[in-house]
Amino acid sequence: MSSPATRGAGAADPAGDRAPARRDATVVVTGVTSDSHTWNLVFLQLLLEELGFGVVNLGPCVPEELVVSECLARRPALLVVSSVNGHGYRDGMRLISRLRRQPGLSSVPAVIGGKLGIAGAQSTEQLGALVTAGYDAVFDDGTEGIASFRRLLDALPQRALA
């Protein structure tokens, strides 16, 4: 298995003066098992780096066991699951169930977002089911999704330290 992909999102200095307090906090960004989309992951990496987080980008088509092992190894301040291809709901449910069963990962903050079904927006019940299964938040596609994601990030350090 390939090592986690962390390159490719600009070796730029991540606007470090904007959020120095978060330098030590790591966010793990990942796609789901069957999703090959990567632009979403590259964008999230850049955004998180600019906000001062260290980012481990696992890339697309990530096996569940790799997400588990990376979370155990890195103890991230947040796990971000992003999907575009329409199996996000199904794969995301399976992933979070497995993650929450893992000793040590029952309370790692985890969120999911993107295009999660093949027929457009998810139902309220499905969004609720993702939270019940263990996600701390679910973000729909679009600018409001990004805005609310940023609000969550603003709140994150305190949560991570709590």
Partner 1 sequence: MTGFGAFVRRARAGGELVVQPRMGMSEPERMRAGLRATRAANGRTVGTITLDSYTRVRDLESAGLALLEGESLNGYPIVNHDPATTRWVLDGSHGPDFPVQVRHGSADPIDIFRALMTVGLDASEGGPVSYCLPYGRIPLQESVDNWSRSCELFVRLRETGLEPHLETFGGCMLGQLCPPSQLVAISVLEALFFHRHGLRSISVSYAQQTSPVQDAEAVAALRRLCAELLPDTDWHVVIYAYMGVYPASPDGAYRLLGEAAELAAATGSERLIVKTVAESVRIPTVEENVGALEFAAATAAGTRRPVTAAGAGADSQTYAEAAALVTAVLNMASDLGEAMLLAFRRGYLDIPYCLHPDNMGRSRSYIDGKGRLRWADIGRLPLTGVVETRGSRTVTSGDLLDSLSYVRRKFDHEQVSGTPGRGAIGPGAHTS
- The contact set with partner 1 (CB under 8 A) reads 1-3, 5, 7-10, 12-13, 15, 33-36, 38-39, 41-43, 46-47, 50, 57, 59-62, 85-87, 90, 115, 117-120, 141
Angstrom CA distances, 87 to 39, 111, 135, stand at 17, 16, 16
Q: Least separation, in Å, of the C-beta of 57 and partner 1?
A: 6
Q: Least separation, in Å, of the C-beta of 82 and partner 1?
A: 12
d(CA 44, CA 33): 18
- Residue 32 vs 105, nearer CB to partner 1: 32
Q: Least separation, in Å, of the C-beta of 7 and partner 1?
A: 4
Q: Least separation, in Å, of the C-beta of 71 and partner 1?
A: 17
- Residue 106 vs 147, nearer CB to partner 1: 147
Q: Are 9 and 37 in contact (CB under 8 A)?
A: no
- Residue 107 vs 143, nearer CB to partner 1: 143
- Residue 65 vs 104, nearer CB to partner 1: 65
Q: Least separation, in Å, of the C-beta of 14 and partner 1?
A: 9
Angle subtended by helix axes 88-101 and 64-74, to nearest 10: 50
- Residue 81 vs 85, nearer CB to partner 1: 85
d(CA 119, CA 102): 32
| Maximum pairwise Cα distance, the chain | 42
Angstrom CA distances, 138 to 29, 62, 111, 126, 135, stand at 14, 19, 6, 10, 7
